[in-house]
Amino acid sequence: MPHNVEIKARVENPRSFLAIAVVLADKPQELIFQKDTFFNVPKGRLKLRDFGDGTGELIRYHRPDRPGPKISDYAISPTDDPVGLAGILEQSLSVIGVVSKKRTLLLCGRTRIHLDEVENLGWYMELEVVLTQGEDPAAGEKETCRLMQKLGIGQDDLVEGAYLDLLKNQK
């Protein structure tokens, strides 16, 4: 099963963050619109990501809800019918929430840098360092910390949980 090391943090100045991230990136930035519908499952999280263009992904993942670098294991299955799949999942599982965001994706080596404008929440960033099979997660944590420093992300900026949790906590 694939693993990555990731962090999530608040971003006070998205323009400044993006300027630094663009310099670090290996490829041009990509703008992606995402609507994530989360379903009630007994372990981890299950979300259906709809890109709004007739494609999507069903994503199962598990990671600790704490600030700072953490290991996430995940599985992704693409779909060409996210609306139909959502209907089936909604009939089988209860929906616990929906998160809509505009994501700017940049790649820095094996690390995915996300700058997210989350509807009703604000600006956040994520780093996802993709680990190779059997790789020591400490290498991914070291890479995460190095990029955090370059991007100006401090320990006080880090948040725990998913965007869904942050939205629920503000209500």
pLDDT one-digit tens code per residue, 103-137: 999 999 999 999 999 999 999 999 999 998 888 88
The type of residue at 119 is E
CATH number at residue 126: 2.40.320.10
Give DSSP secondary structure letters for the chain.
--EEEEEEEE-S-HHHHHHHHHHH-SS--EEEEEEEEEE--SSSEEEEEE-SSS-EEEEEEE---SSS-EEEEEEEEEES-HHHHHHHHHHHS-EEEEEEEEEEEEEETTEEEEEEEETTTEEEEEEEEEPPTT--HHHHHHHHHHHHHHHT--GGGB--S-HHHHHHHH-
What are 45's strand-pairing partners? Answer: 61
Sign of the C-alpha dihedral, residues 78, 82, 84, 90? positive
**% the chain with pLDDT above 90:** 84
pLDDT at residue 161 in the model: 87
Domain region containing 115: 3-170
Q: Is residue 171 over pLDDT 70?
A: no
What pLDDT does residue 71 have? Answer: 87
Closest Cα partner for 21 from 101, 129, 112? 112
pTM confidence score:
0.92
At 22, give phi and psi (nearest 5°).
Answer: -65, -40
Overall domain count for the chain: 1
Predicted confidence at residue 100, as pLDDT, reads 98
- Average of per-residue pLDDT values in the chain: 94
